[in-house]
Structures are given as structure tokens and as C-alpha cells.
């Protein structure tokens, strides 16, 4: 028997038990999108801090850029959540 997963497909067993997979388990795409947003955040944050460490940006500019990265990460998580 082929088992299909996702919001449109549930196995006979899960339907019989009243288990709604889509309502209980998060979609893999959301996890991947959040993971990509976190990876992007970490890369951009590291780059920002490297610029500061090398003297290319002052503390105020660095904090401003870091806050922007934090806001972008929070927005990406809210979109997916």
C-alpha cells in the first residue's frame, strides 16, 4: 500500500483514528524556509560583525544593521508560523 503524506493525503489508519496530520505536524517547506532564513541571518550577521572588526563600520552603524537583520529574521519566522 502506498502511503501519501501531506494535507491532502492521510493513511486509512490516521483517518480512522481521527488524526489530522496537517493540523498536527508542521509542513516541511515551512521548516526549510525558516532554516534558510536563519542561515541567511547568521551569514549576514557574521559579515556585519566582520566589517566592524576590520574597521569598515562604526558601532552605531553595526548595531543598526544587526537590528535590521533581527527584524528580517523575525518577519520570516512570523510569515511561516
pLDDT digits (tens, 9 = 90+) for 25-37: 555 446 888 899 9
Residues with Cβ within 8 Å of residue 51, at least 6 apart in sequence: 57, 62
How far is Cα 77 from Cα 37, in angstroms, rounded to an integer?
Answer: 8
Whether 65 and 57 have beta carbons less than 8 Å apart is answered as yes
Whether 72 and 65 have beta carbons less than 8 Å apart is answered as no
Q: What is the pTM of this model?
A: 0.59
DSSP state for residue 27 in the 8-state scheme: P
Model confidence pLDDT, tens digit, residues 5-30: 444 444 444 444 555 555 555 554 46
Whether 42 and 69 have beta carbons less than 8 Å apart is answered as no
Amino acid at each position: 500500500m502506498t502511503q501519501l503524506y501531506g494535507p491532502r493525503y492521510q493513511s486509512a489508519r490516521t483517518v480512522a483514528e481521527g488524526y489530522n496530520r496537517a493540523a498536527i505536524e508542521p509542513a516541511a517547506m515551512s521548516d526549510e524556509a525558516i532554516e534558510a532564513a536563519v542561515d541567511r541571518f547568521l551569514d549576514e550577521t557574521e559579515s556585519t560583525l566582520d566589517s566592524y572588526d576590520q574597521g569598515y563600520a562604526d558601532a552605531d552603524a553595526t548595531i543598526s544593521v544587526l537590528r535590521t537583520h533581527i527584524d528580517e529574521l523575525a518577519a520570516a519566522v512570523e510569515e511561516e508560523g
